A and B are shown apart, each in its own frame.
Chain A
Amino acid sequence: MSGQGHARPVGRGRLMTAGAALATLLLGAAVALLELGLLSSREDLWRTRDDAPLIAALALALMAVPAAAFVHQVSRLAQATGERRLAALRLAGATAGQVRLIAARESGRHALAGALLGGAAALAFALVLGVSPWWTLVAPPVVVLGGVLSGLMAGRHVIASPLGVVRRARLRQPRALDLVLLLLGGGMITAGFVLKHWFITSVLVGVGAVVLVFGLTLAATWLIRASARRAGRRAGTAEALLAARLVEADPRAWARTLSVVGLTVFFGAGVTTQQTIVLLRDVSSSFEAGYRLVYLALLIALVTSAGALVVHQAEDLLDHRRSFAALSAAGAPGDALGRVLTRQALIAATPVCAVAAVAGVLVVVLPLVDVFPWTGLPLTLGLAGAMAGIGVLGASLVARLARPILARALHPGALHR
């Protein structure tokens, strides 16, 4: 109801362009780095180990999944772009098809602008690295396609029922399908590792990871909402109360962005556990290059998902521009509102990263219970804890990065209409 004037669509459009640019850059950079990793590790890795392609596939999947999730996140931003305006078009007599086309053209345009910018940056990055730049050119079309597709799907409920622009307060009940997704994703990844063919494996691991992320997102939604409720009950300050209620109202958005962080922590904990076992049992050192590649991929995944988190927080702030500006006008200190952002990230990220780290350790340790070097348990747990810590820390750092956006949102100009 609180009309946002003209500021909101413009803000979202710019955000969409910036997001698309970042997604393109990350995707392009991931491809370039993978190329570099394959080139540099070919000597010791490719000749000596038959499961080296698996590691490469795992690395590629690790990089592609967050990039895809990020594009999706940015697309959602396009989707939200003027839901009200789409509804208004429908009310003014446009058909559902016409509205879809308008939305697709708009989000496609922003995605294109961003993809061109990001593509140029990725190209430059590949040239600096000294790898063939051609592969990085895959990134821009992927991002543009994502933008157009998301535009076509934009505001589905708005298009179906123009008056349906109410807040999505109701949370879907859990269904058996959510569990099936987890099993399916896990199954595909396992199958990929069993098959050991570099192409089939990367496809299975990649698609399996995407399915897994969807399943995890659904599971994380519940975890995050429970965490937010708990935080809300114990909240004693305005920051704590606001943070808890904001997360509780939209746990799915947090789950969507954090599932990639969670996946990164999961793989990170798993890989460090495995590496600990390898080190302690003193198996061949030809793993080294492979681990470097995987850690590189994990780092990229973390950075990418951090990007998705920034987008999410920016979107959240745009949504709350007016009510936050009103709080600020009523005397809420700016840094207290800044702490709301950090707290939100902590409430949402802590349970997700903790569960992911535990799961990552268990997945590696359980099949190896009989050969696991138990003296290494403290080290394993410490490393897993560190992985979870990195995830949580990353999320809260992102919240700090979003503070300048907050400062702009709190500007009294936001009250002007």
Chain B
Amino acid sequence: MLEARALRKSFGRTTALEGVSLSIGEGEIVAITGPSGSGKSTLLHCLAGIIRPEAGEVTFGGRRVDSLDDAGRTRLRRESFGIVFQHGELVPELSAMENVALPLLFGGHAGQESLRSAMEALERLGVADCAERLPGELSGGQSQRVAVARALVAGPKVVFADEPTGALDSLAGELVMKELVRTAEAARMALVIVTHDNRVASYANREIVLRDGRVAG
């Protein structure tokens, strides 16, 4: 469903990706691992249409992603993808529920309906009691689960997660991963997880190891 062929991306003189190809099926859970600086985040950003590779192509459901213009990729990300970052990156001034409702609101859904769906997403991740609180008032694990709810709320086909548990202790990390995987499986979403934690990688059906911007195994 999501495919990449011979991706190359460099920043100035550092080559972050070189000839990376992969394919991810519907509902599949894939871990991308490798040492720090090996190009994991760059690969994730190329797959998710956040940045464009210099060479190679990315296709989603048979459609080219990398050749879409800015507006087209923005729309694709909003409608078909969800993304979770290491530090959640919630808007600190918005309540948890409002943060989760944002993708729907940006997609043009009505206010009340969006907030209701946001509440349901929070419930699925077990953080409904945090709905009214600001991100600054949440624990790391709670705010990360809110971030997961935000990524899942619009019913994406693929969820990308960049070190989703990297800032958490192992117990909280375990909980976030469990909820993420459970919700993704229930909705048959594909899950692409960047991590260097073996326990996180163990949730995946398949592991792709990067080394110096190339697929190592």
Contacts and interface: CB of A to CB of B under 8 A. Distances in A.
A236 B111 contact: yes
A331 B154 CA distance: 11
A331 B75 contact: yes
B45 A412 contact: yes
B186 interface: no
Nearest to B42: A416
B163 to A, nearest CB: 10
Q: In the complex, which of the residues B75, B87, B151 has the most CB atoms of chain A within 10 Å of its own CB atom?
A: B87
B136 interface: yes
B98 interface: yes
B106 A326 contact: no
Interface in B45-59: 45, 48, 50-51
B102 A415 contact: no
A375 B149 CA distance: 62
A416 B94 CA distance: 24
A331 B110 contact: no
Given A412-B50, A416-B41, A329 B83 contact: yes
Contacts of A236: 110-111
Interface in A302-342: 320, 322-323, 325-334, 336
Contact of B93 (A245, A325, A334): A245
Interface string B67-111: 000110011111101110101011111100010011101110011
B150 interface: yes
Chain A's interface: helix, strand, loop or mixed, by majority? helix
Nearest to A321: B89
Interface size class of A (residues with CB under 8 A): 20 to 34
Contact of B98 (A241, A328, A332, A416): A241
A248 B71 contact: no
Given A237-B105, A415-B45, A333 B91 contact: no
Interface of B: 41, 45, 48, 50-51, 70-71, 74-79, 81-83, 85, 87, 89-94, 98, 101-103, 105-107, 110-111, 134, 136, 150-151, 167
Interface of A: 1-2, 166-167, 169, 235-238, 241-242, 245-246, 248-249, 320, 322-323, 325-334, 336, 412, 415-416
